[in-house]
C-alpha cells in the first residue's frame, strides 16, 4: 500500500477531532478528503504530516510506520504539504521562498560556502513557472495577492519533490475562475511530477472535477468513500451537504 | 537600483581608504578609538548573524566575548604559549565551546525565553569570573597581557585588528549568503513552515549560535590585544546590551548595520563622557529614542530616504 | 561545623521571609508579562528606585508611612513609563521591547546615581520589629515574621483580586485573548496601564519590605532582576503558584547556602536554574 492510515484518533480536551479514521491512497491517484467546515480535515492533515501527534492509530507510508514522527522527518520521507491558511516566508521573495525549500530538499542547507542564489536557479525558476509565478519571482511573499500566495504554497511543497503532496484547501478564499486555474495547475503538475495528491476541500464542485477517490469526513469520522459517481449518489453525503445537520 | 549601488561603492571605497590611512593622519587616541569601534563591530556582526538572520535574540553575547578574552589573557600570562595565531584560534574556540554548551539548553527556545536564558548565562559567567580569583584575578581582572612579537605598538595593533575584523566579516558574509544562511532566514521568518520544508530548525539555530559565539569570541580576543587585559565587566549584562544596541542602532536588516551602530555609539560615548559623567543616562535616552523613533536603525532610515527618492521620480 | 536543629529552623525562617520578598518582586514581572506580553527587563531597576525612595521617605516621615507611600509613588512612576514608552511598542516585537527596557534601566540607574550618589545606603530596623520571637521553639527575628505575614496577606489579596473580582476576570480575559477582550468593549489600554502600575507597585512593596534587612547600592537592580528571572525559570513563566514555590526555594537555598558554603552562596541559585533547564526547560510548575 502506498499510503495508509489505520484507526487514527485525536482528541482535544475531550472532543474527538479525529475519530477512528482509516483510509488508504493508491499511488498515482488524486485522492480527496471532503467534509463541511469543522469536520476535522485540517486536524487530519496535521496528524499525518507530523504537526501534532495522534493519540492512537497508525500512519504508514511506503510500508514504513511514520506515526508521530516530526514534521521534518515526514517531509524528508516524501510527504509535502501546503496550508489552508497561507503559511509562507513573508519577508522573502517568491524566488527565495522556493529556494530555501529546494536547497533543503537537496540536503544543502548545511552548506556554508556557496552563494545560495547561484545554486539550482533553473530548477527554482522551473517551479515558479509551473505554478504561474515567474513574473512575481522578485516580489516579497507577503506582498503577493492571496491567489498567488496559495500558488506559492504549492510551489514550496513541490520543491520538496514529494511522493505524496498533501494540499490543505488549495482554493480557500479564491474567486471561482482562480479556483479552476489552480486546479488545472495541480493536474498538470501531477502529470509532470508523477506524485500522488491528497487534497482536502469543503467545496464539493472543486473536488468532483479532478478526484479519483474521495473520502468524506464528518465530525471527525469517515462516513463514506468511493469514486466521484458513488459519492454524488451517496445518501449520507447528500444529507450532510444538503440537509444541513445530521 | 544603480544609483544606490553606485553610492554604496563610492562610500565603501572612501571608508576603506580612510581605514587604511588612519594611523598616518590621526592621533594615537583616535587610532585607539577606531580600533575599539572595529572590535565592537565584529562582536555586533557576529550577534547580527544570530539576530538578523536566525531571529534569535542573544542578550548574553558578552559571555562569549569575555570567555575568549579571559582565555587569551590566561594563556598568555599563565602559559608559555604566546603565539598570536594559535591564541586567536584557541580563544574563539573556547567561546564557541561555551556556545555549544549553552546551545544545547536554549536552541529550542524562542523570543523572550531565549533572551532571558542567554542573559542568565552571561551573569552566571560574570559571578564565576569574580569568584575564581586565583585564575581570573577576581574583580580587578587580568592586567598587563602583552602579546609577543609585533603586537606591541598601537599602529600594528590597529592594522592587525582591521585585518582580522575584515577577514571575519567576509567569512560571516559568505556563510550568511550560503544555503545555511538562507535556511536561517527561513527559520526567522517562519519556523513552523521551515520544518515542513524539511529544515532541521533546532540544529540550524544551534549551529548559528556556535558560529556566532566563535566570531564574538574573536572580537573578545582582539579586545585583549588592544586593552592588554581582561575584566569581569565584559561578562556583565551591560556589555551584552551594548552589542544588541549597536545592532539595532545600525539596523539588523543590514549586514554592515552593526558597523555603523558601533561607530555612532563609540563616537557618542567618547564625546559625551568628555562633557558629562552621566553617559549612561544619555545612552538610555538614545536607546529609547531609537526604539520608538527609528526601529529600523540608521541603515533602515537611509533605505527609506532612497526609496522615497525613487518613489518621487516615478510619480 | 555542627548544625543544630534550632539554627536550621531559624535559617529556614529567614529564607522563607526572603523568598516572600522575591515572590512579590517576581509576581510583578510575571503579571506584566502575562497580561501585556512584555518582559520588563527594567523590573529590577524599578525595585532599586523604590529601595532608594524608601530610604528618603522613611528618614523623612518614618518607615510605617513609606510602606504605603512608596508603592503608590512607584505605581505612578510606572504609569508614566507605561503611557510614555511601553504603550508604543506592544506590537513591535520582543527585540525592541527588551531593548527599550534596557534603555530604561540605564536611565533609572543613572538617575539613582545622580540623586543618591555612589555610596551604599543602609536601612534602619524599625524599633517595633527589633529583636526575636520564639515560634514553636524556633528563634526568628520579629521582622522575618512580619515579612511572612504581610507578604502572605498581599499574595492572598492578589490571588483574590485575580480570581474573584471583575477586574481580575478582565485581566484573565486579556491573558487569554487580547483581541477578543477588546471586542467585548473593554478598554484594554487602560487595563494594561493598571496592570503595569500594579506590577511596579508589587516590586515597590518588595523593596520597602526588604529595606530594613539589607543595604542598597548601585547594581542591586541586576541582582534582583536575575533573581526574578530565576524564579520565572524555575517556576515556569506566567504561573503565580509556580513563582511562589520557586521564590521560596531560592530564598531558603540562599539562606542555607550561607551556612554551608558562604563564598558560593548565590551560585546555588544558578545551579538550580541550570538543573531545572536540563530537566524541564518549560519550568517545574508550568502547565505545558
CB-closest option in C39, C222, C274 to B112 = C39
Chains C and B touch (3+ CB pairs under 8 A): yes
Instruction: Yes or no: say if A78 and A163 are a contact pair by the CB < 8 Å rule.
Output: yes
CB-closest option in A49, A76, A112 to B175 = A112
B245 interfacial to chain C (CB closer than 8 Å): yes
Domains in chain C with CATH codes:
5-120+140-279 (1.10.3470)
Percentage above 70 pLDDT, chain B = 96
**Among B178, B214, B254, the residue to mutate for chain A (most A Cβ within 10 A):** B178
Q: Classify burial at C275, counting beta carbons within 10 Å of its beta carbon; exposed 0-12, middle 13-18, buried 19 or more.
A: exposed
Write down the pLDDT at residue A68.
86
pLDDT band at A242 (very low <50, low <70, confident <90, very high): low
CA distance to partner chain B, nearest, from residue A125 (Å): 17
Chains A and B touch (3+ CB pairs under 8 A): yes
Q: Which residues of B touch A100 (CB under 8 A)?
A: 182-183, 185-186, 194, 197, 199
Phi, psi of A112 (to 5 degrees): -110, 5
Whether B196 sits inside 8 A of A91 (CB atoms) is: no
- List the one residue out of A22, A87, A10 whose CA is nearest residue A52: A10
pLDDT band at B1 (very low <50, low <70, confident <90, very high): very low
DSSP-derived pairing of the beta strands A30-34 and A196-201: parallel
Instruction: Yes or no: say if A22 and A8 are a contact pair by the CB < 8 Å rule.
Output: yes
Write down the pLDDT at residue C24.
94
Work out the average pLDDT over B143-154.
84
Write down the pLDDT at residue B314.
31
Any domain includes B252: no
**Cell for C224?**
534582583
Beta strands per DSSP E along chain A: 3-12, 15-25, 30-34, 56-61, 64-65, 79-82, 164-168, 196-201, 213-218, 221-226
Which residues, at least 6 apart from B198, have a Cβ–Cβ distance to it below 8 Å?
Answer: A72, A75, A76, A104, A105, A160
Provide the 8-state DSSP code for B53: I
Any domain includes B263: no
CA atoms of A170 and C223, how far apart (whole Å): 53
B265 interfacial to chain C (CB closer than 8 Å): no
- List the one residue out of C158, C156, C150, C175 whose CA is nearest residue C33: C175
List the chains bordering chain B where 3 or more Cβ pairs fall under 8 Å: A, C
Cell 561555551, located at residue: B98
- List the one residue out of B65, B68, B77, B217 whose CA is nearest residue B134: B77
CA atoms of A64 and A52, how far apart (whole Å): 19
Q: Which residues of B touch C232 (CB under 8 A)?
A: 116
Write down the pLDDT at residue B60.
92
Q: Which residues of C touch B287 (CB under 8 A)?
A: 99-100, 102-103, 106
B175 interfacial to chain A (CB closer than 8 Å): yes
Work out the average pLDDT over A156-176.
87
Interface of B with C in 49-108 (CB under 8 A): 51, 57, 59, 105, 108
pLDDT surpasses 50 at B312: no
- List the one residue out of C21, C207, C215 whose CA is nearest residue C123: C215
Alpha-carbon Rg of chain A, whole angstroms? 18
Cell 477586574, located at residue: C167
CA atoms of C154 and C148, how far apart (whole Å): 10
In tens, the pLDDT along C185-209 reads 888 889 999 999 999 999 999 999 9
CB-closest option in A83, A91, A160 to B198 = A160
Q: Which residues of B touch C264 (CB under 8 A)?
A: 131
Nearest CA in chain B to C221: B237
B268 interfacial to chain C (CB closer than 8 Å): no
Any domain includes B69: yes
Write down the pLDDT at residue B308.
63
B186 interfacial to chain A (CB closer than 8 Å): yes
Q: Which residues of B touch C270 (CB under 8 A)?
A: 120, 124, 127
Any domain includes B138: yes
Whether B113 sits inside 8 A of C237 (CB atoms) is: yes
Spatial strand order in the sheet of A64-65 = A15-25, A3-12, A56-61, A64-65
Which residues, at least 6 apart from B145, have a Cβ–Cβ distance to it below 8 Å?
Answer: B72, B73, B76, B77, B224, B228, B229, B230
Write down the pLDDT at residue B167.
96
Domain enclosing residue B70, as ranges: 27-247
Q: What are the residue ranges in chain C where pLDDT is below 70?
A: 1-3, 263-266, 281-288
* Pairs from B24-29 (Cβ < 8 Å, separation ≥ 24): B28/B154
- Domain count across chain B: 1
CA distance to partner chain B, nearest, from residue C204 (Å): 22
Write down the pLDDT at residue A93.
94
Q: Which residues of B touch C267 (CB under 8 A)?
A: 124, 127-128, 131
CA distance to partner chain A, nearest, from residue B198 (Å): 4
Which residues, at least 6 apart from C74, have a Cβ–Cβ distance to it below 8 Å?
Answer: C46, C49, C50, C53, C200, C201, C203, C204
Q: Classify burial at B63, counting beta carbons within 10 Å of its beta carbon; exposed 0-12, middle 13-18, buried 19 or more.
A: buried
Work out the average pLDDT over B281-287.
94
B204 interfacial to chain A (CB closer than 8 Å): yes
- C→B contacts (Cβ < 8 Å), by residue, are 33, 39, 85, 88-89, 92, 94-96, 98-100, 102-111, 113-114, 222, 226, 229-230, 232-233, 237, 263-264, 266-267, 270, 273-274, 277-278, 281
pLDDT surpasses 50 at B152: yes
In tens, the pLDDT along B175-215 reads 999 999 999 999 999 999 999 999 999 999 999 999 999 99
**Among B129, B268, B288, the residue to mutate for chain C (most C Cβ within 10 A):** B288
pLDDT surpasses 60 at A189: yes
Q: Which 3-state string (H, E, C) describes A169-232?
A: CCCCCCCHHHHHHHHHHHHHHHHHHCCEEEEEECCHHHHHCCCCEEEEEECCEEEEEECHHHHH
Any domain includes B60: yes
Nearest CA in chain B to A73: B198
CA distance to partner chain C, nearest, from residue B84 (Å): 34
CA atoms of A99 and C73, how far apart (whole Å): 56
CA distance to partner chain A, nearest, from residue B170 (Å): 11
Q: Which residues of B touch C100 (CB under 8 A)?
A: 287-288, 291-292
CA distance to partner chain B, nearest, from residue C196 (Å): 18
Instruction: Yes or no: say if A54 and A9 are a contact pair by the CB < 8 Å rule.
Output: yes
**Summary count for chain A: helices (H), strands (E):** 9, 10
In tens, the pLDDT along A103-117 reads 999 888 888 888 988
Whether A105 sits inside 8 A of B183 (CB atoms) is: no
CA atoms of A38 and A18, how far apart (whole Å): 11
Write down the pLDDT at residue B8.
80
Write down the pLDDT at residue B74.
93
Any domain includes B8: no
B47 interfacial to chain C (CB closer than 8 Å): no
Work out the average pLDDT over B79-102.
91
Amino acid at each position: 500500500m502506498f499510503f495508509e492510515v489505520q484507526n487514527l484518533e485525536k482528541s482535544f480536551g475531550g472532543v474527538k477531532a479525529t475519530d477512528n479514521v482509516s483510509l488508504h491512497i493508491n499511488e498515482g491517484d488524486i485522492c480527496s478528503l471532503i467534509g463541511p467546515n469543522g469536520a476535522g480535515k485540517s486536524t487530519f492533515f496535521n496528524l499525518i504530516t507530523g504537526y501534532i501527534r495522534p493519540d492512537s492509530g497508525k500512519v504508514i507510508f511506503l510500508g514504513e510506520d511514520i506515526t508521530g514522527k516530526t514534521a521534518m522527518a515526514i517531509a524528508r520521507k516524501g510527504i509535502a504539504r501546503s496550508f489552508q491558511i497561507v503559511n509562507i516566508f513573508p519577508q522573502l521573495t517568491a524566488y527565495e521562498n522556493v529556494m530555501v525549500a529546494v536547497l533543503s530538499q537537496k540536503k544543502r542547507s548545511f552548506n556554508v560556502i556557496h552563494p545560495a542564489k547561484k545554486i539550482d536557479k533553473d530548477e527554482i525558476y522551473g517551479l515558479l513557472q509551473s505554478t504561474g509565478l515567474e513574473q512575481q519571482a522578485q516580489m516579497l511573499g507577503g506582498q503577493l495577492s492571496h491567489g498567488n500566495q496559495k500558488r506559492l504554497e504549492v510551489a514550496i511543497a513541490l520543491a520538496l519533490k514529494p511522493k505524496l503532496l498533501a494540499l490543505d484547501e488549495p482554493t480557500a478564499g479564491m474567486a471561482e475562475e482562480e479556483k479552476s486555474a489552480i486546479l488545472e495547475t495541480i493536474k498538470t503538475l501531477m502529470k509532470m511530477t508523477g506524485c500522488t495528491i491528497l487534497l482536502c476541500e469543503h467545496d464539493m464542485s472543486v473536488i468532483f472535477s479532478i478526484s479519483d477517490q474521495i473520502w468524506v469526513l464528518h465530525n471527525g469520522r469517515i462516513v463514506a468513500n468511493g469514486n466521484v459517481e458513488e459519492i454524488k449518489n451517496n445518501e449520507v453525503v447528500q444529507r450532510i451537504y444538503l440537509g444541513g445537520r445530521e | 537600483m544603480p544609483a544606490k549601488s553606485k553610492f554604496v561603492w563610492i562610500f565603501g571605497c572612501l571608508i576603506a581608504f580612510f581605514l587604511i590611512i588612519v594611523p598616518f593622519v590621526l592621533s594615537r587616541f583616535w587610532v585607539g578609538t577606531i580600533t575599539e569601534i572595529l572590535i565592537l563591530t565584529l562582536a555586533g556582526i557576529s550577534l547580527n548573524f544570530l539576530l538578523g538572520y536566525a531571529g534569535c535574540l542573544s542578550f548574553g553575547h558578552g559571555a562569549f566575548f569575555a570567555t575568549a578574552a579571559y582565555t587569551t589573557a590566561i594563556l598568555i600570562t599563565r602559559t608559555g604559549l604566546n603565539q598570536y595565531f594559535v591564541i586567536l584560534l584557541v580563544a574563539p574556540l573556547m567561546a564557541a565551546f561555551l556556545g555549544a554548551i549553552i546551545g544545547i539548553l536554549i536552541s529550542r527556545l524562542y523570543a523572550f525565553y531565549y533572551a532571558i536564558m542567554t542573559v542568565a548565562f552571561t551573569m552566571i559567567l560574570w559571578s564565576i569570573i569574580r569568584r575564581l580569583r586565583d585564575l581570573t584575578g577576581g574583580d580587578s581582572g587580568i592586567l598587563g597581557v602583552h602579546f609577543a612579537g609585533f603586537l606591541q605598538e598601537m599602529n600594528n595593533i590597529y592594522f592587525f585588528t582591521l585585518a582580522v575584523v575584515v577577514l571575519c566579516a567576509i567569512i560571516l558574509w559568505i556563510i550568511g549568503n550560503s544555503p545555511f544562511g538562507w535556511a536561517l532566514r527561513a527559520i526567522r521568518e517562519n519556523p513552523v513552515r521551515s520544518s515542513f520544508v524539511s529544515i532541521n530548525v533546532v540544529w540550524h539555530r544551534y549551529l548559528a549560535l556556535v558560529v556566532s559565539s566563535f566570531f564574538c569570541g574573536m572580537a573578545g580576543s582582539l579586545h585583549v590585544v588592544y586593552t592588554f587585559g581582561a575584566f569581569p565587566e565584559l561578562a556583565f549584562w551591560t556589555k551584552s546590551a551594548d552589542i544588541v544596541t549597536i545592532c539595532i542602532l545600525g539596523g539588523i536588516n543590514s549586514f554592515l548595520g552593526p558597523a555603523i551602530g558601533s561607530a555612532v555609539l563609540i563616537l557618542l560615548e567618547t564625546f559625551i563622557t568628555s562633557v558629562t559623567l552621566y553617559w549612561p543616562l544619555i545612552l538610555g535616552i538614545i536607546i529609547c529614542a531609537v526604539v520608538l523613533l527609528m526601529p529600523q536603525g540608521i541603515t533602515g532610515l537611509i533605505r527609506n530616504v532612497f526609496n522615497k527618492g525613487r518613489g518621487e521620480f516615478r510619480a | 561545623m555542627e548544625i543544630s536543629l534550632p539554627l536550621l529552623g531559624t535559617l529556614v525562617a529567614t529564607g522563607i521571609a526572603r523568598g516572600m520578598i522575591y515572590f512579590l518582586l517576581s509576581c510583578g514581572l510575571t503579571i506584566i508579562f502575562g497580561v501585556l506580553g512584555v518582559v520588563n527587563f527594567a523590573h529590577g531597576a524599578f525595585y532599586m528606585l523604590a529601595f532608594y525612595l524608601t530610604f528618603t521617605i522613611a528618614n523623612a516621615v518614618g518607615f510605617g508611612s513609606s510602606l504605603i507611600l512608596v508603592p503608590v509613588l512607584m505605581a505612578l512612576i510606572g504609569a508614566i513609563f507605561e503611557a510614555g514608552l511601553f504603550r508604543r511598542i506592544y506590537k513591535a516585537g520582543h527585540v525592541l521591547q527588551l531593548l527599550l527596557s534596557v534603555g530604561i534601566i540605564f536611565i533609572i540607574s543613572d538617575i539613582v546615581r545622580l540623586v543618591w550618589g555612589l555610596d551604599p545606603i543602609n536601612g534602619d530596623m524599625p524599633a517595633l520589629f527589633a529583636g526575636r520571637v520564639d515560634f514553636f521553639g524556633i528563634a526568628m527575628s520579629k521582622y522575618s515574621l512580619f515579612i511572612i505575614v504581610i507578604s502572605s496577606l498581599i499574595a492572598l489579596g492578589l490571588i483574590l483580586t485575580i480570581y474573584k473580582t471583575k477586574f481580575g476576570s478582565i485581566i484573565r480575559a486579556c491573558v487569554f485573548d487580547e483581541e477578543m477582550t477588546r471586542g467585548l468593549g473593554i478598554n484594554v489600554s487602560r487595563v494594561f496601564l493598571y496592570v503595569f502600575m500594579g506590577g511596579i507597585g508589587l516590586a515597590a512593596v518588595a523593596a520597602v519590605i526588604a529595606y530594613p534587612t539589607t543595604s542598597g547600592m548601585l547594581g542591586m537592580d541586576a541582582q534582583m532582576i536575575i533573581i526574578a528571572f530565576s524564579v520565572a525559570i524555575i517556576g515556569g513563566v506566567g504561573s503565580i503558584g509556580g513563582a511562589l514555590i520557586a521564590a521560596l526555594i531560592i530564598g531558603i537555598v540562599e539562606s542555607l547556602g550561607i551556612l554551608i558554603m558562604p563564598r558560593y552562596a548565590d551560585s546555588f541559585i544558578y545551579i538550580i536554574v541550570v538543573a531545572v533547564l536540563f530537566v524541564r526547560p518549560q519550568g517545574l510548575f508550568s502547565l505545558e
